[in-house]
Structure 1
Amino acid sequence: MTVTLITGANKGIGFETAKQLLELGHVVYIGARDVERGEKAAAALGARFVQLDVTDDASVSNALATIGSAEGGLDVLVHNAGILGDGVIDGPTALHVFNTNAVGIVRVTEAALPLLRKSSNPTVVTVSSSAGSFWAVNNPERPEFNLPLALYSASKSAATMLTVQYAKSQPGIKFNAVEPGTTATDMTAAFGIGRSPEESARIVVRLATLDADGPTGTLQDEDGELHW
């Protein structure tokens, strides 16, 4: 039995990732800030719900304690929760974006580590973005070149770096970041672009189901490792 927690999983890529992992036989916990939306999503999928706000220490601690009490451990953690942070650029907005997209990764990872260490194949996947890649944003042939999302991009650079640093400091646990592809979700609705969350979730699922000897410390998209 593989126990998986996905943050921000009541919609979009997180929801589709939960659906696909359930089909593979995982016990999936949907983490969501909003109890009503989270419970509705979990019920629709046949998953389990845990209230989890990645910007709140108590919420994170309580969520992992609930999973630990019920399951005794955790095999897979998917950091999916994130915000775009478009529009005005100022201090409060920057703090909010980084608190969600980067600091939230630290909160959840640190709370999850004791449970992950009990797994025979512990795996952490961070839904990052090539919008945080120096290589991509400086390449005129890449869509990220013209993406006007400074705070989002910078926070995703931090998310990818956290992935690499955790991979180095926790050699018994696989940590990989993923560029899921441009996806049509609530977050990108204003841009009117992207493929289905179902398609993008497949790369997340692939990294969430790696064998014990799989790679760690990488940023990947569906075609393999990315420069960043």
Structure 2
Amino acid sequence: MKKTALITGAGRRFGFELAKALLAEGYQLFAHYNSSRDGIDELESLGAKGIQADFTDTASIKAMIKTISNATNSIELLVNNASCFFDNDTVDNHENALAAVFQVHGMAPYLLISGLQQQLSHSENGLVINITDIYADRPSTDYIAYCAAKAALANMTQSFAKTLAPSVRVNAIQPGPILFLPEHDKEHRLKVLDETPLRVEGGLEPMIETVRFLRDNPFITGESIKVDGGRGLMI
């Protein structure tokens, strides 16, 4: 019987590569996206079911939960990966940005974990993985709202780990400089790498391997694992 996974923010970067890896392992996959279908068409061609939801809209999240609940009785893996990365200037000058930061990183994961609890409990080894950030522990003054929202998700990880045990495990991954954004110039990249003990851009495979580690070790819950090349030691 196929295992089922749901990945939010599955159309690009880590979400996309993880989705492809799980499809290659034979998972039935729900690939969430918001407005852009970048990557979703390819995932659907590989067997995924694309599912749209605006995480700033509670009704949209609940409709997504209902669709998934009607489609499957069991979910082995939920990865809360969707994100919006806004700096202070964006939050201060765009009316909806502050709410979006907390809705995407806090409200949506909370509703998904709660709303899909039955499906997660029905699997043999139900697992939730929340993608937080190394800055959840040591916040950046340039991204105050983002860091606070990720810290809320980190706290939620521990709360749900206690609440849903023993039937569902809940853990988190804290990525560091795994994959620079296109807008990051050479100076920025060199500065970040100089502040990272392992001095390399990690790539996405270490993140995927950490998902597999958390999936395959049944005696870990309530933990956050940094995948950051040691950068968390330096900030």
AA matched with 1:28? L
Displacement of 1:167: 0.6
- Structure 2 contact 69–116 (Cα < 8 Å) conserved: no
Runs of 4+ in 1 over 6 A off after TM superposition: none
Shift of 1:217: 0.5
Match of 1:130 in 2: 134
Match of 1:221 among 209, 223, 226: 226
Question: 1:67 is matched by which residue type in structure 2?
Answer: I
Q: Deviations over 1:14-72 (max 9, x none)?
A: 01111111222221110111374464142354322112222222222222222222222
Post-superposition Cα deviations, 1:159-211, rounded to whole Å, max 9, x if no partner, equal 100101111111121000101331326xx33334444334433323432x234
Query: Residues 16 and 39 of structure 2 are in contact (CA less than 8 Å); yes or no, is this contact kept in structure 1?
Result: no
Asked whether the equivalents of residues 174 and 217 of structure 1 are also in contact (C-alpha less than 8 Å), the reply is yes
Distance 2:159 2:84 in 1: 22
Which of 119, 122, 129 is the aligned partner of 2:123?
119
Counterpart in the other structure of 1:196? 203
Give how far 1:87 is off: 4.5
Which of 188-197 and 98-107 deviates more? Answer: 188-197
Cα deviation for residue 222 of structure 1 reads 4.2
Partner residue, 1:16: 17
Q: Which has the higher contact order (CA 8 A, sep 6+)?
A: 1
SS in 1 for 2:216: coil
Aligned positions of 1:1-228 closer than 5 A: 1-34=2-35, 36-37=37-38, 39-88=40-89, 89-90=91-92, 92-134=96-138, 148-171=142-165, 172-184=167-179, 188-192=181-185, 193=189, 194-207=201-214, 209-211=215-217, 213-222=218-227
Kindly indicate whether the alpha-carbon contact (under 8 Å) linking 1:17 and 1:205 is maintained by their aligned counterparts in 2.
no
| Most deviating of 60-69 and 166-175 | 60-69
Task: Give the SS at the match of 2:84.
Answer: coil
Identical-residue share of aligned pairs (%): 26
Asked if 1 retains the 8 angstrom alpha-carbon contact of 2:5 and 2:78, the reply is yes
The 8 Å contact of residues 35 and 51 in structure 1, kept in 2 or not, is answered as no
> How far does the alpha carbon of each residue in 1:66-103 deviate from its partner, in whole angstroms, 9 at most, with x for none?
22222222111000001111241437432221111112
Worse overlay, 161-170 or 36-45: 36-45
How many residues align? The count is 211
Structure 2 residues without counterparts, runs of 5 or longer:
190-200
Q: CA RMSD in A?
A: 2.5
Runs of 5+ unmatched residues, structure 1: 138-143
